[in-house]
Amino acid sequence: MTETGVESLVRQLSDGRFHSGESLARLLGVSRTAVWKGMQKISRETGLEIHAVRGRGYRLALPLELLDADRIASYIRSGSSVVPEIRVHASLPSTSNYLAERMGELADNTLCFAEHQTAGRGRRGRQWISPYGTNLYFSLYRRFPLGMQELAGLSLAVGAVVAETLSRYFDGISLKWPNDLLVDGRKLAGILVDVHGQAEGPVDTVIGIGLNLRMPQLSGDEIDQPWIDLESVAGREISRNLLAAELSLALLEALDSFSGSRLSAWMESWRRYDNWHGRPVQLVRGERVISGIHAGVANDGSLRLEIDGRVEHFHSGEVSLREGVSCERV
């Protein structure tokens, strides 16, 4: 069965009801054997759990709200006069890689969503676990007429925007420098900003966002750090399409402002969600560990760390933040 056929099977099964092999075969114009093989492929490649019951057919263990470009566009249109190009894929290695490979042909603000990523990227080369049809994985392309230095702090501004948007559903979200969103120390979402261009500009950016919305436990068991998902803390079901549109709209509005205001417009928001200020922390840079007191974020997006009574600034995107017990340099 072709990839298109498999995608059609998933869409038919997404309602969580039983569908007979005969009806599915008739709908797709294939044999019942091809349907059975398609089910095996879905289980193998997406990790979705399929129940097969003799006399009743096939169904997903849980229904899915699959992403729909038209629905997302409709939601965005209700809050903006300009609707960007929206691309939705069943599976990609990475939404950010997809856009980065096509920058020369993309219109500004092109959005790319995927139901599933086979090579999703987190910080410091970590894999971003991306089960099918349950969380949100998307990227946005934007060209700025600015130099790279002027884009310092972009990932922090994006983090503040995402935190504000998600706080409509739950008010216990915090930001950890430079671009993680946490709830009680457990990771809820992550942001990666890839920058391409000349130092003096213009600069092409791809902003990638991964959000744990409804993480299946089996997929969660593969994650090597504490995690949480939005529906668990919100205590209710959340529409993937509506949330995708809300995040996209907030991000588009923020990027329109960033060219003029830089990070300064979001500093107050960042500080509101930053619960690390004043606490002893450790910065890990490869084999080097630096301990000190978290002294906030500077207007250029750098981390301010008090070490032995002096405040030092750290810009590196490879820096990881961890609670420490000492304030001495190691």
Catalytic residues: 123, 187, 322
| Sheet-wide strand order for 86-89 | 86-89, 111-114, 136-144, 203-211, 186-197, 180-183, 174-176
Q: Compute the distance between CA of residue 66 and CA of residue 64 in angstroms, rounded to an integer.
A: 6
| Residue given tokens 């207007």 in the structure block | 299
Q: Please state whether beta strands 310-314 and 320-323 pair in parallel, antiparallel, or not at all (unpaired).
A: unpaired
Residues 6+ apart with CB under 8 A from 89: 95, 98, 112, 113, 114, 115
Phi and psi torsions of 34, nearest 5°: -65, -35
Rounded Cα–Cα distance for residues 161 and 158 (Å): 5
Give the tokens for residue 74. 């409709």
3-state DSSP assignment of residue 58: strand
Would you state the structure tokens that stand for residue 42, as one six-digit string? 């879905």
Local structure of residue 65 (DSSP, 8 states): -
Counting every residue written for the chain, the total comes to 330
Contact 20, 45 (CB under 8 A): no
108 φ/ψ angles, rounded to the nearest 5 degrees: -55, 140
Burial per residue of 129-167, b for 16 or more beta-carbon CB atoms within 10 angstroms, e otherwise: bbbbbbbbbbbbbbbbebebebbbbbbbbbbbbbbbbbe
